[in-house]
């Protein structure tokens, strides 16, 4: 089970990831919209005290962003590139 502190950390990183996305290709926009929805859900679940669900949503944001980077569909700021496997 995730605790509040872990959830807070992941929500912070999720926000940092979203703020760090600087370019999205047109054909990746549908997936990017889903990614943003998961980020919103991470914040919502955290505020509701559902920390496990919040962290799960944060991890999905992280994974989708990583996949989009590997497919060269997005660009991110250098400050967050170390979060990913590219």
* CATH classification for the domain delimited by 4-76, as one of 3.30.70.100, 1.20.1270.90, 2.40.10.10, 3.40.50.10320: 1.20.1270.90
Beta pairing partners, 20:
none
Q: What is the model's pLDDT at position 12? A: 97
pLDDT in tens, 3-20: 999 999 999 999 999 999
Question: What tens-digit pLDDT sequence spans the chain (86 residues)?
Answer: 889 999 999 999 999 999 999 999 999 999 999 999 999 999 999 999 999 999 999 999 999 999 999 999 999 999 999 999 88
Domain ranges of the chain: 4-76
Q: What is the model's pLDDT at position 86? A: 85
Q: Are 45 and 60 in contact (CB under 8 A)?
A: no
């Amino acid at each position: 089970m995730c605790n509040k502190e872990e959830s807070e950390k992941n929500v912070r990183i999720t926000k940092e990831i979203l703020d760090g996305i600087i370019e999205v290709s047109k054909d990746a926009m549908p997936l990017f919209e889903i990614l943003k929805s998961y980020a919103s859900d991470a914040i919502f679940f955290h505020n509701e005290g559902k920390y496990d669900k919040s962290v799960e949503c944060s991890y999905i944001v992280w994974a989708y962003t990583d996949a989009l980077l590997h497919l060269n569909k997005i660009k991110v700021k250098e400050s967050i590139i170390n979060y990913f496997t590219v």
